[in-house]
């Protein structure tokens, strides 16, 4: 059974103290989710830029008048290219972490569903938090 919460006790966002804490937690989780997505995006961008540069080097070696006489450069370009596999590992780990964060957000949402009722039943979460939870990766 919920308890009635005075407007004074609710604070500026209209939430009871317990709801306020949960909303702040949700906001922090939303920020974490956003940071993970940014990490994936930046890793993808960097890896693709590096690959493009390596492909340019290899193509230039293929087309150069010297033909295949720069094995050191070719091997170095290949090593750099192979190292771009970091993007795959970063992406997989970030995806896994995102799923955990979303799971935590779901549990917080469920917990808020059982939270003490506010006097006028206003929303307990910002749209930003809700959107972050439902955002596709």
Binding mask 105-134 for another protein (x = CB under 8 A): ------------------------------
Taking alpha carbons only, the member of 35, 47, 129 closest to residue 87 is 47
Question: Taking the complex as a whole, how short is the minimal distance between the CB of residue 41 and another protein, in angstroms?
Answer: 12
CA distance to 57, 106, 125, per residue, from 20 (Å): 56, 17, 9
CA 5/CA 3 separation, integer angstroms: 6
Given the complex with another protein, which of 80 and 130 has the nearer CB atom? 80
Question: Cβ 106 to another protein, closest distance in Å?
Answer: 20
Please answer whether residues 74 and 58 qualify as being in contact, where contact means their C-beta atoms are separated by less than 8 angstroms. yes
The verdict on 137 binding another protein (CB under 8 A) reads: no
Full DSSP string of 37-51: HHHHHHHHHHHHHHH
> Which of 84, 97, 112, 115 forms a contact with another protein (CB under 8 A)?
84
Q: In the window 19-78, what residues touch another protein (CB under 8 A)?
A: 44, 47-48, 51, 54-55, 58, 74, 78
95 CB contacts (<8 Å, ≥6 apart)? 40, 137
- Residue numbers at the binding site for another protein (CB under 8 A): 44, 47-48, 51, 54-55, 58, 74, 78-79, 81-89, 91-92
């Amino acid at each position: 059974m919920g308890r009635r919460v005075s407007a004074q006790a609710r604070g500026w966002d209209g939430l009871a103290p317990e709801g306020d804490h949960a909303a702040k937690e949700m906001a922090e989780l939303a920020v974490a989710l956003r940071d993970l997505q940014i990490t994936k995006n930046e890793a993808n961008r960097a890896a693709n830029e590096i690959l493009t540069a390596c492909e340019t080097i290899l193509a230039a070696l293929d087309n150069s008048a010297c033909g295949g006489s720069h094995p050191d450069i070719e091997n170095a370009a290949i090593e750099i290219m192979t190292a771009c596999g970091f993007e795959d590992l970063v992406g997989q780990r970030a995806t896994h972490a995102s799923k955990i964060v979303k799971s935590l957000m779901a549990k917080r949402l469920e917990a808020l569903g059982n939270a003490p009722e506010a006097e006028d039943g206003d929303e307990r979460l910002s749209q930003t938090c809700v959107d972050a939870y439902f955002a596709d990766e």
